[in-house]
């Protein structure tokens, strides 16, 4: 048995392993503020890379970034009943705008500075952005409006888990208004496809894109689509959503335009978002028992150079050799961008430094000792192939020139390898062809540690019939994930209702 860098394995306790990776990789920590975390440099650096890559994709799809207020007056929410119903239970409310001494050596909200109308800290911005759209849109010539914002939002959570569920989180929320339903529906799906390609190509996360069932729709949406990723414990993570909102919000906020025929119409709107939650997905898909493995496209440092110093005279030559190597590597390009290289000069011994980067998941770690300098070599550790078959660390001594020639391609190979590994796991863990409820129960029988998902052909019930199905699945701790867009034709009876099946749907446990 190989000794691993973490104190707990995925097999032992997946939830504990997840927290351990976050702690050992210095990604985030509890802040001391209920439900809020501190995102540390390695975690935030990954988020910055994700932001840059997704922002490029969002802009390429024609959107511009804006910024809207953090605070939303209560009256904005009152206009869209379903929407407020969905969020009222988890809203942080600002009621005062000043503090005064409480007479006991502490502070308290000043009763004389109570707001006339309380303000909600935005849980999402459809209402306040809808109000802006109403100002911006008069004529069909003003449409479409395609905007996006990067912001923090707050949804008060009682049980929190780092990255996956925190009271405050960071996200982007796109909002668009269109002249026709067809165009708005197409845009909803276009952005879902942007999320799919971002997840798969940039994060190496294979996902299933599909439509959420009626009861899982965003509050106020006509249709909600998601990308769902499978974690290594078989559970699903909803990693991004795209909503067709119809005229629900334009009616509430008054987004009306004169069409080409001179008649007044309501605009058709969409919204879509991806959050820091996705970092949790990266951890649970790519992590292993030695920590995180960061896909090179989103790694803050793709290659980390660790000098093996010994407080000896030869140290100067090693540092000089590493400096030059870093310079050469920075001149390379991978994925159309300059390679990101860190020469880690911290006053920390080489072994803990190497293992620190293993746990953080830097894609390539290059070690340089006196012998490497003498021989013009480097010792290369690939995070995706950490051990040899005999269980020893796989550190390959190669000529510096050879490594430099191969480094960019190696990064691409690691990116593709991580995706392929996760894709194979996803495929292997979707059980298809289940036609009765017993089959569902069997797939999720106790003792099955990573049961994955079951795909069935269902009848897409609504109302009370849907409620009954949701309850029956809930007893097995199961939820419907989404109806895959590329589900293909179906036949036979729905194992949940007995009615004729109309589409495929994925069922699983979830985060």
Residues that bind a second copy (CB under 8 A): 29, 31-33, 36-41, 44-45, 47-48, 64-75, 77-78, 84, 88-100, 105-109, 118-121, 128, 131-132, 135, 141, 147, 151-152, 154, 156, 167-168, 170, 347
Question: In the complex with a second copy, which residue's Cβ is closer, 172 or 482?
Answer: 172
- Write the CA distances from 402 to 68, 307, 383, 397, 398, integer angstroms: 51, 19, 19, 10, 7
In whole angstroms, how close is the CB of 13 to a second copy at the nearest point?
Answer: 25
CB of 498 to a second copy, least distance (A): 39
User: What pairing do the DSSP bridges indicate for beta strands 145-154 and 64-65?
Assistant: parallel
- What contacts 328, CB < 8 A, 6 or more positions away? 404
What minimum distance in Å lies between the beta carbon of 467 and a second copy? 23
C-beta of 430: minimal distance to a second copy in Å? 35
135 Rama sector, left if φ>0, alpha if ψ -120 to 50, beta otherwise: alpha
Q: Residue 171's closest CA among 143, 191, 151, 196?
A: 151
Nearer to a second copy, 95 or 462 (CB): 95
In whole angstroms, the minimum distance from the beta carbon of 382 to a second copy comes to 25
ω before 409 within 30° of 0 (cis)?
no
We find the least distance from the C-beta atom of residue 33 to a second copy, in angstroms, to be 4
Q: Which is nearer to a second copy, 42 or 419 (CB)?
A: 42
Angle at alpha carbon of residue 360, lines to 355 and 366, rounded to 5°: 55
Nearest-angstrom CA–CA distance, 43 and 169: 13
**What one-character DSSP code corresponds to residue 199?**
I
Nearest approach in angstroms of CB 481 to a second copy is 28
Taking the complex as a whole, how short is the minimal distance between the CB of residue 123 and a second copy, in angstroms? 11
From the CB of 343, what's the least distance to a second copy, in Å? 13
- CA–CA gap between residue 276 and residue 51 (Å, rounded): 10
Query: Of 15 and 107, which CB lies nearer to a second copy in the complex structure?
Result: 107
**How big is the chain, counted in residues?**
511
Spatial CB neighbours of 182, under 8 Å, sequence gap ≥ 6: none
Would you say 151 or 334 has its CB closer to a second copy? Answer: 151
C-alpha span between 282 and 275 (Å, rounded): 12
Report the alpha-carbon distance of residue 204 to residue 411 in Å, rounded: 13
Question: CB-wise, 72 or 473, nearer to a second copy?
Answer: 72
Q: How far is the CB of 360 from a second copy (least distance, A)?
A: 13
For a second copy, the closer of residues 45 and 174 by Cβ is 45
**For residues 109 and 88, what is the distance between their CA atoms, to the nearest angstrom?**
23
Task: Please state whether beta strands 430-431 and 453-458 pair in parallel, antiparallel, or not at all (unpaired).
Answer: parallel
Q: Which is nearer to a second copy, 151 or 208 (CB)?
A: 151
Start-to-end CA distance of the chain, whole Å, equals 31
Least distance CB 134 / a second copy (angstroms): 10
Of the two residues 2 and 107, which places its CB atom closer to a second copy in the complex? 107
Query: What is the distance, to the nearest Å, from the Cα of residue 187 to the centroid of all Cα atoms in its chain?
Result: 21
Rounded to a whole number of angstroms, the minimum distance from the CB of residue 75 to a second copy is 7
Which one, of 134, 146, 153, 149, lies nearest residue 247 by Cα? 134
Residue 462 vs residues 215, 248, 314, 469, 483: alpha-carbon distances, Å: 9, 20, 74, 10, 15
Gyration radius from the chain CA atoms: 26
Here the tokens at position 103 are 């007479």
Helix axes 277-286, 400-428, angle to 10 degrees: 100
Report the residue number, 170 or 266, with the smaller CB distance to a second copy.
170
- Residue 74 or 465 with smaller CB distance to a second copy: 74
**Tokens at 87, concatenated:** 């969020």
Nearer to a second copy, 84 or 208 (CB): 84
């Amino acid at each position: 048995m190989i000794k691993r860098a973490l104190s707990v394995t995925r097999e032992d306790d997946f939830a504990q392993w997840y927290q351990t990776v976050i702690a050992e990789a210095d990604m985030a920590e509890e802040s001391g503020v209920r439900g809020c975390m501190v995102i540390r440099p390695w975690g935030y650096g990954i988020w910055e890379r994700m932001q840059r890559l997704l922002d490029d994709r969002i802009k390429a799809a024609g959107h511009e970034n804006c910024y809207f207020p953090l605070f939303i007056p209560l009256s904005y929410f009152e206009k869209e009943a379903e929407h407020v119903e969905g969020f009222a239970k988890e809203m942080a409310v600002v009621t005062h705008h000043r503090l005064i001494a409480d007479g006991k050596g502490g502070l308290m909200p000043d009763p004389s500075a109570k707001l006339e109308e309380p303000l909600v800290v935005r849980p999402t911005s459809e209402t306040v952005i809808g109000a802006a759209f109403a100002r911006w849109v008069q004529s069909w010539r003003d449409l479409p409006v395609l905007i996006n914002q990067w912001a923090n939002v707050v949804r008060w959570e009682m049980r929190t888990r780092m990255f996956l569920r925190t009271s405050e989180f960071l996200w982007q929320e796109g909002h668009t208004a269109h002249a026709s339903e067809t165009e708005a529906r197409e845009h909803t799906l276009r952005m879902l496809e942007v999320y799919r390609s971002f997840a798969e190509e940039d994060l190496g996360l294979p996902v299933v894109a599909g439509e959420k069932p009626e009861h899982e729709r965003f509050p106020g949406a006509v249709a909600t689509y998601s990308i769902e990723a499978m974690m290594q414990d078989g559970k699903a993570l909803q990693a991004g959503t795209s909503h067709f909102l119809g005229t629900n919000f334009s009616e509430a906020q008054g987004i009306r335009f004169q069409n080409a025929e001179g008649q007044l119409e309501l605009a058709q709107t969409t919204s879509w978002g991806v959050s820091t939650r996705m970092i949790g997905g990266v951890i649970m898909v790519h992590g292993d028992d030695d920590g995180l493995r960061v896909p090179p496209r989103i790694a803050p440092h793709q290659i980390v150079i660790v000098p093996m110093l010994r407080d000896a005279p030869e140290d100067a030559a090693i540092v000089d050799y590493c400096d030059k190597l870093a310079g050469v590597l920075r001149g390379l390009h991978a994925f159309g961008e300059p390679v990101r290289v860190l020469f880690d000069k911290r006053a920390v011994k080489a072994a803990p430094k190497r293992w620190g980067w293993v746990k953080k998941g830097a894609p390539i770690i290059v070690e340089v000792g006196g012998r490497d300098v003498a021989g013009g070599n480097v010792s290369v550790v690939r995070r995706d192939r950490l051990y040899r078959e005999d269980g020893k660390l796989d550190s390959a001594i190669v000529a510096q020139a050879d490594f430099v020639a191969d480094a960019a391609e190696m990064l691409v190979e690691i990116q593709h390898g991580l995706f392929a590994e996760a894709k194979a796991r996803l495929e292997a863990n979707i059980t298809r062809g289940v036609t009765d409820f017993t089959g569902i129960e069997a797939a999720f029988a106790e003792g099955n540690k990573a049961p994955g998902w079951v795909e069935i052909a269902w009848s897409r019930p609504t109302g009370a019939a849907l409620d009954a199905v949701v309850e029956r699945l809930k007893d097995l701790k199961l939820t419907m994930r989404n109806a895959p867009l590329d589900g293909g034709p179906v036949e036979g009876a729905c194992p949940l209702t007995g009615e004729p099946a109309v589409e495929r749907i994925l069922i699983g446990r979830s985060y």
